[in-house]
Chains A and B, each alone.
Chain A
Amino acid sequence: MEVMANPRFRRQPSRFVRLRHLVQAAFLLAWMGPLGLRLHSLCGTVFHCYACPLSTFACPVGVLANFSALGVSPFIALGTLLVAGTLIGGFVCGWLCPFGLLQDLAAKVPVPKLRLPLRAGYLRYGVLVVLVLAIPYFFGESHPLFICRLCPAGALEAGLPLAVQNAAQGESFWNSMSTVKWVVLGLFLVAMFVKYRPWCTLFCPLGAILGLFNRVAVVRLKVDDRMCTSCGACKSACKIGLAPEKQLDDPLCIRCMQCTRCDAVHLTTVFDRKKPGNLAARAGTD
């Protein structure tokens, strides 16, 4: 196979990339503070429901939707997303998000994975505009299509613990959440085994925002044109289904860095002006 023939493509990702799940797990401690710090007057950068009993920060999507419903400009949420997005862009999704970690772990179950066209990723912008901004603004937070009423993260991280708590207190388990939310949760739990990161690639409004920064983020990936032989090895390594040699800054990219198994793709910063050849040589020493 041509992919195997590329001598620059390593069988294993670098040691740093192999630590990704460990980094995600470490950040889990920040988002779900075991000390019970509820710093809900600050906005987090990841998709994590603030109704979760252990959540440390407020969910940026929930804040955007609720502020839209209230008709207030969310400067803190927008500022947080702008700063995080401009600094690391899609790395938030791939390296920090707890909901992403859950889907990453579920994807390790050896079940045939469904591949949808990349165009389906534009659905995320529909979710962002319609469910997060427009419906809350025009119909308020009581509308059944308000994003928090459909959110699987809320159902899993807040609704399910609440249901368990209610059941322990002798109350109804099933009445703790709406039927719609139970259905969404059930569908999501099945989908995360048969599709790689179904929420992130199809619906996540936060990923839609942060992915836009991939092109201008301080920390970014770069392809060395002089080393790339267009062998397609990086595409075969990309679990999202992107072709990194052409779509390295695609908003769908979560920066899992599997494509850096090829020496032609490497980590850099937006301020790096050195010649690609030098960078490639540096990446090759890993």
Chain B
Amino acid sequence: MAYGKCGRRRLARGRATVTILLLLAGAAGLIYGLAFHAVPVLPKQDTPEKEVPETPPEILPEDEVGFTADELFETPSEDAPPLVIDLTDGPEPGVEMSEREVLHEVTIGGLERLPSGRLAKTYAPGEQPPSLCPT
């Protein structure tokens, strides 16, 4: 395509502007990835995560549930033991892993995506990573 003198100058200026914008975007992405971006990662899952059923479970009649709706919402008596949720015996909470760590783990096959979409490590702290060449 033939451009006039003015058009060619405008084209060159536009090209330089795009170059600068792309450089800035790249630098910003790099800095964000290196310094700020983190993702939650669960520890190694010993049992495979259960698939979430797509359809809700059937509503059971009250006699099969074992309690009525009134019992569920009644105020507990003062003699009743306090309601405590035990967190010590459950699965370990996930940790925030920086993108640099994720990148390193990826190169040793150290991460997997669970069916729920969450990330989990494929090896426990004392174990060797699966492989340097996962393929």
Contacts and interface: CB of A to CB of B under 8 A. Distances in A.
Range for the number of chain B residues in contact with chain A: 35 or more
Interface string B10-40: 0010011011001101111111111001010
A74 B75 CA distance: 51
Nearest to A155: B135
Contacts of A162: 133
Interface residues of A, number: 50
B135 A75 contact: no
Contacts of A271: 16, 19
A141 B23 contact: no
A169 B57 CA distance: 55
A91 interface: no
B29 A70 contact: no
Given A75-B99, A79-B28, A58 B106 contact: yes
B119 A72 contact: yes
A216 B103 contact: no
Given A148-B135, A273-B12, A71 B37 contact: no
A213 B26 CA distance: 12
B-side interface mostly: helix
Interface string B103-135: 110111001110001010000000000001111
B34 A76 contact: yes
Nearest to B2: A225
Given A79-B26, A82-B22, A41 B101 contact: yes
A195 to B, nearest CB: 25
Nearest to A159: B133
B15 A79 contact: no
A66 interface: yes
A146 interface: yes
Nearest to B18: A216
A76 B135 contact: no
25 contacts: A41-B100, A41-B103, A43-B103, A51-B132, A58-B103, A58-B106, A63-B103, A63-B106, A67-B102, A75-B29, A75-B30, A76-B100, A77-B103, A78-B29, A79-B33, A80-B30, A146-B135, A149-B135, A154-B135, A159-B135, A162-B133, A215-B15, A216-B22, A218-B23, A273-B12
Which 10 A-B residue pairs are closest in the complex by CB-CB distance? A82-B26, A79-B30, A75-B33, A79-B29, A76-B33, A51-B133, A83-B26, A41-B100, A41-B104, A86-B22
